[in-house]
Chains A and B, each alone.
Chain A
Amino acid sequence: KQEVTQIPAALSVPEGENLVLNCSFTDSAIYNLQWFRQDPGKGLTSLLLIQSSQREQTSGRLNASLDKSSGRSTLYIAASQPGDSATYLCAVRGSGAGGTSYGKLTFGQGTILTVHP
């Protein structure tokens, strides 16, 4: 059974710091890994998706890396801003049966990030 763990559970940093959020998963047979952002009382917004064949993806100040063999992904946020305050979740998708793209998506518990001015 796939298990996804995110460390730390909560993080509070001053504005401007570079920070790293960690995600680990127990089964390396994944199809892809996705990072989401969730604002209080809102749905999830997809930030980055890394296919299993890729090593990293970048979007603006965000960079996500994937080391499938060791079961780890990191989300790097550069020059953090108060607007980055949210819960960040990672989710891994297992490989589907018969080579299909659908496999179970397993979420981590999330990291609650607070960036204070």
Chain B
Amino acid sequence: NAGVTQTPKFRVLKTGQSMTLLCAQDMNHEYMYWYRQDPGMGLRLIHYSVGEGTTAKGEVPDGYNVSRLKKQNFLLGLESAAPSQTSVYFCASSYPTRGAVTFSGANVLTFGAGSRLTVL
């Protein structure tokens, strides 16, 4: 029962370098999210996806791109890393509610353990 797995757990980049964070979930969840957590700022949504092949911008999308080619994977890319992107990144996934039907576990977010990124 892996749940949500993020790789890598730690990474140090130089300004201008690119990298991709991978999120994988084995719960057949339709919704997936990328958040960043910064001291004093709480968790902020970067991008999200409501299904395979779909993505949408969240609260702080600038400087990031995402892809959801497979239902179980949600990739977060940094094309040209900046020191302001130093943060802890969390991936999460959830079931949606189907119309008026609410079932146990719907909308409950399951988070990965986080990826700590430092940009020098």
Question: A residues near B, CB below 8 A?
Answer: 31-32, 34, 36, 41-46, 49, 51, 89, 91, 93, 100-102, 104-105, 107-110
A interface, over-half SS: strand
Residues of chain B at interface, number, CB under 8 A? 26
- The answer to whether A43 touches B109, judged by C-beta atoms less than 8 angstroms apart, is no
Query: Which B residues are in CB contact (< 8 Å) with A42?
Result: 113-114
Cβ-defined partner of A31 (8 Å) among B58, B59, B107: B107
Given A43-B111, A46-B109, A101-B107, 9 new contacts (CB under 8 A): A34-B107, A42-B113, A46-B111, A89-B42, A91-B43, A101-B97, A102-B48, A105-B109, A108-B42
Give the CA-CA distance A101 to B31 in the complex, in Å. Answer: 11
A104→B59 contact, CB < 8 A: yes
* B9 shortest CB reach to chain A, Å: 10
Q: A44-B90, A93-B107 are in contact. Are A105 and B114 (CB under 8 A)?
A: no
